[in-house]
Structure 1
């Protein structure tokens, strides 16, 4: 029997040894040199053939077992915690109106001093640079490439400040919301200037040889993404939309003669967009190094969106692997009575896990190269997706099965190859047995406090599963003060997501939930407000925030995610699911600057409580 709070590997079935694990065991190199001295990856087919030549048999019985994802050894005996945040929401005195990779390095430093072991981030996927107002990180143009708006321009080698930009930058920093079009305008203009100077060859830090190697590694995928961005910019200038569905017919096919002719005429611009991806890669890699130096033992925890924009670079580049006339959504439920159409493209079930380098594997590799942990948004997609035909409302959609065993095998292999922990957002309407399958595959369950209830109220801290990430709130929720007041319920009614009668019932239920919370916190000998206090402010709210974080830290959950917006007591939500035009989703910044966080009394008190409840082990 495992001790409380410890994960017992003996309760897990034997896991298949991933192909790359076998190759590593038998000394097979993962790259080979080219004549110019660069290294190219060895294919999986070659690895299998070399293993066969070495008389190493691939264990069919083990391969048929439930694959198990990587778990860091430290989690066999420790429970750790980390910060979760939206990168764009970070304020600092030097950024350009949006949190950036330099801010990420700084928050890593702070988190390390506070005793954290990871930084959880919103998806960093590539957006539509030609239409920066399309800012949802969960509707990216491509999940294989990064968002260049997170580049810290002022930290590029040799960058010289431009005096005429000072007033503009001060205005961008001062805003309560990220002004994505304005941020994109000033950053892209500055990056173009840097690009022109860089090509003169005077940079001894970011060398052309490194850029060339990055481009070779990115191969055709990188070129097509850059080509898409170039065409998209041109189309917007001509009055079309940034997405390819609105382009002239001859430009909708990435391999058409018209597109090839355009490509030949815009080589310089295409290379600029490849350059942006390289800069983003270098700076994110630097942030990974900053996390390691700060002592964050897990490092960055990156979120993976469940799909991509229907009209983005990914679907334009490889239409053959995506559904052509249906999108991902959700059926009617109490939070969205008409159902939801998320307007996201899904991989074809027949293509997602097929081929030498399956599309799902390539998407995982793009994130895991930087991450010590990844979160699979809408983990139900590992078993099925709710698909909505383009010409139908969500109420006429249907569930479609996906190859669960094959996807878990791909996920397990990628997890071990990158030594990357996997968290599955296993909320909502899951296929029968999927939650159990995810647990057997070592995916950490995603446990949000307000959802963890049974017939007696909120479950006790001790009843959380060890193989989980616990948290109080996420980007789709109000912070704790807003939840207490029922602001999330009122918002759903205000935005027409539920009838007012449903909201009234939910507000009555929230009274019960407040009373349940007070009882639960009191049972742990922690301070709690009176449950009939509908609005909490000042010290009362601070005491509740500290108490609930201390309670959640006592759970056996391996990971505890601490939302930075809860510690700064943000009054407005990051995102209200189901809204797009009626609420400024994915735009709101924190109310506190980075350099003020270390002295914020609530931050000091909560992080001290977390260190006490989840102490680090001393020694090896």
Structure 2
């Protein structure tokens, strides 16, 4: 067989898709050089004679497997797996290897709690481990969590929240106050951008969708006035900045936290010690990374060739654990405050699709991260060359070998203080698009779809969390139907959700969605009505004057359709959302305040003020804002409120 034929065969063994259709319907075939790059990214030697040897080794490994590599079973019910004759078997928990069950011959498992297990199969001539994922039949649903079938909430950019007490960047206490304010207007949840760790020593990174590590929290949002011994005066002047002063805020905040840490070290705190013990090796390694960045810089790829965690003093490692403990406690308090104010389910947190390749997650989880590739998106009408997001990709084969432990920790961290999570680009559970560093074309890599869905259901059951899958873009046929069966909520964006007759009613054909007008990546309601996004496209040279005029004409017609005979487009759109069958409806704080500029303009870095805009209204004035009162009353009229206080409040 030729080398190209061998590469295609290897690609098939590794789950690299041979072709796909892009959004224009064009078929794109995976070239040999892409197969080679992605195989290397998964750690396989393909140079010279090694290529056929690698293929032979993978085939031999498969031939030796008498049983499935994995089995997904329903939690809470006995399961007969249909294999095991001639073998002894032992079932243990994957997390701690504790014994669960054992037997001989055909494997009949007892009712299992939602968890991941290892089934050890042993015979005289054969031994094999089978990963068993015991998952509930379905994810939690709105009716179970909120006690009613339809609810509403709001989304906001945490970094942009304004108050008289923060240091220029919205913090966890601001978040708690905002949740209480909108809860009193009947909102059941408050959604925010990801709050993953951004990197202690990194002063340049601030996009919440390009974090350093998704398994830990952003300590920049720590509310200093809630930390004993932390001075808050040094950064007070930053509150007057026109845009979020990330670098200056970080410098001032870290100085204050260093002082508070020294005071904390003079005593003993049993809760902190318990947090460190529970965090275990993963927290220890993350803390070591953060400390190493203080010595060598935020990008581990530029560190000296030999770097050891032994270079980090125990005190400095404990300092970074302490920061995580403070952030974790403050976020936990926000969820308690939200629920106490009447919210159910409370906080709605976002899980980014990946972490930066130069950050902590790529370093801490190097054994399961594909090397030499970035997560991205295939070519489309906006990006003819495709997109590389500079985000690390998990190698699905390596991840499976460790029973999905790194991803499980990330899911648990996002869910532990949230009643709802949104998984960004949930299509990646089925296949993810990898872009090689060597310049060759990108391609899709198949993921263990059924197992990843089971993993999410396991963690959601443990934490009682609703799960929204952001399913926009190039969606494989049948994908959405499969996700609904498992209990995932879809993501319905009104300005894009159309059919041949025009805008589709939110929540049709399925009410199992979160419906909204826009997202952080789309025009705001006022921006849409005024064609602000079209202005930007023309300003940046993405379209010419003729095309811009055509787009404005079409937009004018669309706005007229949305508004109908209603005097204000805000009332028309929010009324449409409220009256829809969608189980969850989300209103952006930007649309409450009538903001024109979007939080982010995809395809730009410095040209647009991405992730830096502060809100024009403070958290203290949010509850009495006239538009929020109007929206709250509208949602109450359509029986979407869950908070009794709000139902009796003056509108």
**TM-score, normalised by the number of residues in structure 2:** 0.78
The within-5 A match list for 1:359-508 is 359-392=406-439, 396-461=441-506, 463=508, 465-496=510-541, 503-508=548-553
Q: Are 2:635 and 1:601 aligned?
A: no
Q: Alpha-carbon deviation of 1:192?
A: 0.5
Show the counterpart of 2:277: 216
Counterparts in 2 of 1:320 and 1:501: CA distance versus 1, 3 Å: farther
Match of 2:174 among 103, 108, 121: 103
Show the counterpart of 2:389: 342
Separation in 2, partners of 1:469, 1:479: 17
Show the counterpart of 1:126: 197
Separation in 2, partners of 1:199, 1:102: 24
Counterparts in 2 of 1:186 and 1:431: CA distance versus 1, 3 Å: same
Q: Deviations over 1:34-68 (max 9, x none)?
A: xxxxxxx99464363399999825699x9799952
The within-5 A match list for 1:20-31 is none
Q: Are 2:140 and 1:91 aligned?
A: no
Separation in 1, partners of 2:191, 2:476: 27
C-alpha contact 2:73 2:134 (8 A) present in aligned 1: yes
SS at match of 1:463: coil
The within-5 A match list for 1:312-323 is 312-323=359-370
C-alpha contact 2:362 2:392 (8 A) present in aligned 1: yes
Separation in 2, partners of 1:188, 1:618: 38
Match of 1:69 among 139, 145, 161: 139
Match of 2:75 among 12, 18, 41: 18
Separation in 2, partners of 1:367, 1:295: 22
Show the counterpart of 1:34: none
C-alpha contact 2:507 2:582 (8 A) present in aligned 1: no
Q: Alpha-carbon deviation of 1:359?
A: 2.4
Show the counterpart of 1:561: 586
C-alpha contact 1:351 1:358 (8 A) present in aligned 2: no
RMSD value, Cα: 2.9
Counterparts in 2 of 1:105 and 1:76: CA distance versus 1, 3 Å: closer
Counterparts in 2 of 1:322 and 1:153: CA distance versus 1, 3 Å: same
Show the counterpart of 2:334: 287
Show the counterpart of 1:262: 311
Q: Alpha-carbon deviation of 1:336?
A: 2.3
Q: Alpha-carbon deviation of 1:497?
A: 5.0
C-alpha contact 1:136 1:586 (8 A) present in aligned 2: yes
Separation in 2, partners of 1:269, 1:208: 17
C-alpha contact 2:230 2:256 (8 A) present in aligned 1: no
The within-5 A match list for 1:49-68 is 49=101, 56-57=110-111, 67-68=137-138
Q: Alpha-carbon deviation of 1:498?
A: 5.6
Give the number of the structure whose alpha-carbon radius of gyration is greater: 2
Q: Alpha-carbon deviation of 1:17?
A: 3.6
Counterparts in 2 of 1:51 and 1:177: CA distance versus 1, 3 Å: farther
C-alpha contact 2:136 2:457 (8 A) present in aligned 1: no
Separation in 2, partners of 1:504, 1:247: 51
Q: Alpha-carbon deviation of 1:384?
A: 0.8
Q: Alpha-carbon deviation of 1:506?
A: 3.2
Q: Alpha-carbon deviation of 1:77?
A: 3.9
**Structure having the larger proportion of residues in strand:** 2
C-alpha contact 2:374 2:436 (8 A) present in aligned 1: yes
Q: Deviations over 1:71-109 (max 9, x none)?
A: 241567420011111111100011111111111110111
Q: Alpha-carbon deviation of 1:431?
A: 2.2
Q: Deviations over 1:445-469 (max 9, x none)?
A: 1001111111111123573521000
**Structure having the larger proportion of residues in helix:** 1
Q: Deviations over 1:192-247 (max 9, x none)?
A: 0000011111xxxxx621111111111111111111111112223xxxxx111122
Separation in 2, partners of 1:436, 1:185: 48
Show the counterpart of 1:182: 248
Separation in 2, partners of 1:293, 1:555: 28
Counterparts in 2 of 1:386 and 1:498: CA distance versus 1, 3 Å: farther
Q: Alpha-carbon deviation of 1:547?
A: 2.2
Q: Deviations over 1:414-466 (max 9, x none)?
A: 11111111000000002222111111111001001111111111123573521
Separation in 1, partners of 2:378, 2:230: 52
Q: Alpha-carbon deviation of 1:514?
A: 2.0
Show the counterpart of 2:186: 115
Counterparts in 2 of 1:229 and 1:495: CA distance versus 1, 3 Å: farther
SS at match of 1:309: coil
Match of 1:586 among 611, 615, 619: 611
C-alpha contact 1:351 1:359 (8 A) present in aligned 2: no
C-alpha contact 1:172 1:179 (8 A) present in aligned 2: yes
Q: Are 2:152 and 1:152 aligned?
A: no
SS at match of 1:341: strand
Unaligned runs of 5+ in 2: 1-71, 79-92, 114-118, 120-131, 645-651
Show the counterpart of 1:533: none
Separation in 1, partners of 2:333, 2:595: 29
Match of 2:261 among 195, 204, 221: 195
**TM-score, normalised by the number of residues in structure 1:** 0.81
SS at match of 2:178: helix
